[in-house]
Amino acid sequence: MKRPLFSIRMQASINGKHLSGAERLSVADDLERLAAGMVKRALGHMRGRAEKIQLTIEEVETGQIDTGVLPDLHTYLVDDYHHGRRAATAILVKSGVTPVAIARAMDAMASGAAPDGRSMRGAMLIDSKNGNRLEPDKARGVRVSRMDLTEQARHELILGLQALGLDNDHVREALVLAAKVITAPGIVAELCWSDDPDYTAGYVASVQQGYMRFPHLKPLGDERGGRAFFLASGEHDLSELMDYLQSKPLLFDRIGRLYRAKPWSEDL
């Protein structure tokens, strides 16, 4: 009989603003260790010490959990964030997103996609053709939850990323999140760059092309970032999509191929 799993989630804030988050699926024996690590992370964040930390732990029914494989990881070297955004645009166009929709997403992320000009707590949902924003809550957006790696897959991923000099929380967590996003119904692609001021990397992800990472998608020191999920144009079942992203448990038991970094080229 399989051991039950629990979803453990952390959200931390400072001055009323989102500061940090973390997400794992775990057996009961590991919950205390994971909770302590999440609290430590919130208290030692580069943008300040959390003033409010919320931990949520819920048992997940074993029969609800699906398994999957992580997308292949590619790293493309670019000169600066301008170059990175041009490259990301080219990839998104190949994935079926129009230049208008890409420009609207990038402008919102660069200027602060929330109504108050700050970064959103979750992701934007954007029509891949006309660029219209579809998320019901423009401040919160859509938060992706209840996804993780099996211990064997985590071990393999860590070893593979260490060989590439990429093993850190940013890369591991973003790869797992993107893996769930691109399996969601109606999703064409994802664009993301971090709101951490000293982390300039970001990525584009899609089922067809995998997880394509760029070291520069925003200026150093900029605290604005976020995620844009591009939806197939037409009828959108937002209820089904948001339920999948926020509630469907997904455990990745296999990793994709991890490629060494190479310079970006339009011919790729």
Residue 1 banded pLDDT, cuts 50, 70, 90: very low
Please check whether residue 124 lies inside any domain of the structure: yes
Do 30 and 106 belong to one domain? no
Among the three residues 45, 64, 83, which one is the final residue of a domain in this structure? 64
**DSSP states along the chain:** -PPPEEEEEEEEEETTEEEEEEEEEE-GGGHHHHHHHHHHHHHTBTTB--SEEEEEEEEE-GGG-EEEEPPPEEEEE-SSHHHHHHHHHHHHHHTT--HHHHHHHHHHHHH-SSTTSSPPSSEEEEETTT--B--S-TTT-B---SEEE-HHHHHHHHHHHHHHT--SHHHHHHHHHHHHHTTSTTEEEEEEE--STT---EEEEETTTEEEEES-SS-TT----EEEEEEPSS---HHHHHHHHHH--EEEEE---BPPPEE--TT-
- Residues 24 and 92 both lie in one domain: no
**Do 95 and 127 sit in the same domain of this protein?**
yes
Average pLDDT, integer, range 137-147: 92
Task: Summarize pLDDT for 98-137 with one digit per residue, the tens.
Answer: 999 999 999 999 998 888 888 888 999 999 999 999 999 9
The domain total for the chain is 2
55/81 same-domain check: no
Same domain, 43 and 81: no
Does residue 78 fall inside a structural domain?
yes
Q: Do 143 and 57 fall within a single domain?
A: no
The domain boundary residue, chosen from 14, 39, 64: 64
What gap in Å lies between CA 132 and CA 124, rounded to an integer? Answer: 10
Q: Which of 64, 92, 112 is the last residue of a domain?
A: 64
Predicted pLDDT at 3: 77
Structural domain range at position 214 = 67-263
Q: Could you read off the pLDDT of 168-186 as tens digits, one per residue? A: 988 999 999 999 999 999 9
Q: Are residues 159 and 228 in the same domain?
A: yes
Query: CB neighbours (10 Å) of residue 226?
Result: 25
Q: Are residues 219 and 239 in the same domain?
A: yes
**Residue 268 pLDDT class (50, 70, 90 cuts):** low
| Same domain flag for 129 and 198 | yes
Is 37 inside any structural domain?
yes
pLDDT, residue 14, reads: 85
Residues 109 and 167 in one domain: yes
Across the chain, what does the average pLDDT equal? 92
Q: Specify whether 112 is located in the same domain as 71.
A: yes
pTM: 0.92
Same domain, 80 and 20: no
Q: What is the pLDDT of residues 13-25, one digit of tens each?
A: 888 777 788 899 9
- pLDDT tens-digit profile of 45-70? 877 888 899 999 999 987 889 999 99
Q: Examine residue 268 and state whether it is found in any structural domain, yes or no.
A: no
**Joined tokens for residue 144:** 């992706």
